[in-house]
Chains A and B, each alone.
Chain A
């Protein structure tokens, strides 16, 4: 327990699609003092199961504890870690950005570069983009000079390639 090699890990958790399961999972994570960056949950192809994608920060020992503690929950059916390079991860970003007529063209160019959609408004637009974390971070960098007035991101969802 001497050196802390803190890294981000992506954990997938298949849980019973019951009410209260999210509270059990998030309650356990906070009670054990684990640091989570994001947690997403949705139904799966099997509608009795929900899939949680949890991004955790911590060293290998912390990660192992997160997995084992979550596995103790009766409603957790299966849990595993996704290994770098073996999965695709995406996040959805919505940002309201200031854009008067003069800047509208510039903004469209930025959006195009990142494959983002723009929904028109009067003096601001909503930029909608999906991508992995770093590409969305890159987009945000370029949007910032325009003036971001509101921002929402979903956190990571991920799926194994094979």
Chain B
């Protein structure tokens, strides 16, 4: 006899079937039945301060391991508060499930209390969405939602459940499989053999091949396959912001991050290569700069599971539609290692001639702080960030060696993402050391989630780079708006007191010689969050930089310009052996 369950109970049972053990959310009138059913279940329900926080926690949870983050909100304002989180997940292809309450089905369209057209509002920012109109469809809908969120190019899926559906009873049967005729992703995942063969031939013949790898490598769990492929064929690797950690930066073949604030030698390598192999990357405008002048000397291979990305912004010579893990495995078998000896020497020289540096100054320097965190954690922490200068410094000066160790909003660039993402990541990997590298501007957009972190006694560490401003905005105002600081100065705030008010540990650091001790102290505290407020130099800029609309190999704030302008600190890499000559490997 199949059990008769309410819609709310079906939601809980279905989540259990999907292996969900934690959900993030806020209850309200239209999702109370779901929260009531969750209350009586083994699932850990994390009450967040704000629904946006819940969505980023689900996102951080998902990015930190291979499981699906789930967030819950009530109808109307609860649901609209999820928009930014779902858009963030959509842009970076993160599988999350959002379950929203909705007004009674017969009231939909009536401007009922706390009613919003949630499916309509979310349509452009989710991979797929459902409005459940019959309780009998609920279990199948949840099964489909998980399937769609996690397969192909992953992404967020929304399930909107009217409260009367949550209360109605039906027989519960969780389907074993899904069949969605319009969802053709299976045919893409394996990769087309003819396309792979053509790409393999091009690689075998290349003299200056360069792997340009993105978030797709992390998402498909292909870091191992990528590393094997690159090492076997001696092909250097540059990664995007979302691709950080997909290839160990300790490896001599690593050329580091490319793009607007990428390393000079990474962008120059792109300009000089004769074959650019894009792997799970999408030629984002922050990577290419002026598209017409991007990597013009090269033929291009594009490996992506999403066919709509091929030829979208850059015309490629060898498209390969397929899951990057499968494709890399097949390529490793097919490719005859090209002779890249001279090319590696050339890159090695560029690396020596154009290192990533910063000027030594008396006050606290964010680059130095991040290098010290990198050293203290041995590159084994999970980093989350907000968006802005601190995000770029984290990307530049932390040494990423493991996939899923950099959790950042790349596509949407969502300020405030760092703290809730860190909370989600810590739930996903309770034994890992999680650092939120944040800025005072970004942090304040979601700082109320300190309450969630404190209540759950999460030992996350927050390195707050406080310069009393929206630093990246200020940098652009200095560069392009004649230093008119329109609304970029933030009101001073005592972040130590703020942290303490929420029950977290607050530490203020004002001098360089206090940095290591503060980091060490934060790493000893394991029963609550620690916020370190670093009072950094206010006018420090992120260099180098590709000015908007310029080709990516024409950078400003380069090594040359900084070198002529005073003292220059040590290059970013602390492990000196990593700077060894590429050609020796």
A residues near B (Cβ < 8 Å) are: 1, 15-16, 20, 23-24, 27-28, 31, 61, 64-65, 68-69, 71-77
Assess whether B307 is in contact with A74, with CB atoms less than 8 Å apart.
Answer: no
Q: Which of B176-184, B258-266, B474-482 contacts A (4 or more CB under 8 A)?
A: B176-184
A28 to B124, CA, bound (A): 7
A75 to B312, CA, bound (A): 22
User: Is B128 close to A, CB under 8 A?
Assistant: yes
* A1-B291, A16-B182, A77-B181 given; 13 more Cβ-contact pairs under 8 Å: A23-B120, A24-B123, A27-B124, A28-B124, A31-B124, A64-B311, A65-B312, A68-B307, A69-B308, A73-B182, A74-B148, A75-B182, A76-B182
B residues near A (Cβ < 8 Å) are: 119-120, 123-124, 127-128, 131, 148, 180-184, 291-292, 306-308, 310-312, 315
Distance from B97 Cβ to chain A, minimum over Cβ atoms (Å): 15
Residues of A close to B306: CB separation below 8 A:
72
Task: Pull 19 A–B residue pairs with CB atoms less than 8 Å apart, ordered by A.
Answer: A1-B291, A15-B182, A16-B182, A23-B120, A23-B123, A28-B124, A31-B124, A61-B311, A61-B315, A64-B311, A65-B308, A65-B312, A71-B184, A71-B307, A72-B308, A74-B128, A74-B180, A74-B182, A77-B182
A11 to B36, CA, bound (A): 48
Residues of B close to A65: CB separation below 8 A:
308, 311-312
Distance from B299 Cβ to chain A, minimum over Cβ atoms (Å): 17
Residues of A close to B123: CB separation below 8 A:
23-24, 27
A69 to B310, CA, bound (A): 11
Distance from B156 Cβ to chain A, minimum over Cβ atoms (Å): 13
Residues of B close to A27: CB separation below 8 A:
123-124
Distance from A108 Cβ to chain B, minimum over Cβ atoms (Å): 47
Residues of A close to B312: CB separation below 8 A:
65
8 interchain residue pairs of minimum CB distance: A68-B308, A77-B182, A74-B128, A74-B183, A69-B308, A31-B124, A74-B182, A76-B182
Chain B: which residue is nearest A21 at the CB level?
B182
Residues of A close to B292: CB separation below 8 A:
1
Assess whether B308 is in contact with A20, with CB atoms less than 8 Å apart.
Answer: no
A1 to B315, CA, bound (A): 8
Distance from A60 Cβ to chain B, minimum over Cβ atoms (Å): 10
Residues of A close to B124: CB separation below 8 A:
27-28, 31
A117 to B291, CA, bound (A): 54
Residues of B close to A28: CB separation below 8 A:
124
Distance from A74 Cβ to chain B, minimum over Cβ atoms (Å): 5
